[in-house]
Structure 1
Amino acid sequence: MAKKAYPLRINANVLAAMQRWADDDLRSLNAQIEFVLRDALVKNGRVKLVEKVVVDIEQLEPPDPAESRK
């Protein structure tokens, strides 16, 4: 899954709170924001839980060497 850059304007207090949360969870600020957004999408029925799991699994699987020879 490709990542896409997106500029974000955010309240300084919200950003500071997200940074503290990210530090507590040993994540980067960017990863924490993405985690919170993905969680909100799943909880509000905007994406299926299966889609979230598939995305996470795809990122962990090493590339298939046979595919690169095609």
Structure 2
Amino acid sequence: MSEKKAYPLRINARVLEAMQRWADDDLRSLNAQIEYVMREALRKAGRIQPAEKPEAMRDDEA
């Protein structure tokens, strides 16, 4: 697992409330949801490479 760093975040109250609802729907913490959304946006923009699935989760190798 990669190193985690704390970072204070100022965010619009309506955006925060919407993120909290989304996190609740996905059974994630608010922090995990924010990180997930940011990671997906970075991946789609080509800024980071997709994470490789762990060995146990690969279903294409049978």
TM-score range, shorter chain: 0.7 to 0.9
SS in 2 for 1:8: coil
Between the aligned residues of both structures, percent identity stands at: 70
More relative contact order in 1 or in 2 (CA 8 Å, sep 6+)?
1
Moved segments of 4+, more than 2 Å = none
Task: Report the 3-state secondary structure (helix = DSSP H, G, I; strand = E; otherwise coil) of the residue aligned with 1:53.
Answer: coil
Deviation at 1:48, TM superposition (A): 1.3
Show CA shifts across 1:9-48 (max 9, x none): 0000000000000000000000000000000000000011
State TM-score, norm by structure 1. Answer: 0.71
Which protein shows a greater Rg? 1
Corresponding position of 1:45: 46
| Structure 2: tracts of 5 or more residues without a match | 55-62
More helix by percentage: 1
* Structure 1 unaligned spans of 5+: 58-70
The aligned counterpart of 1:10 is 11
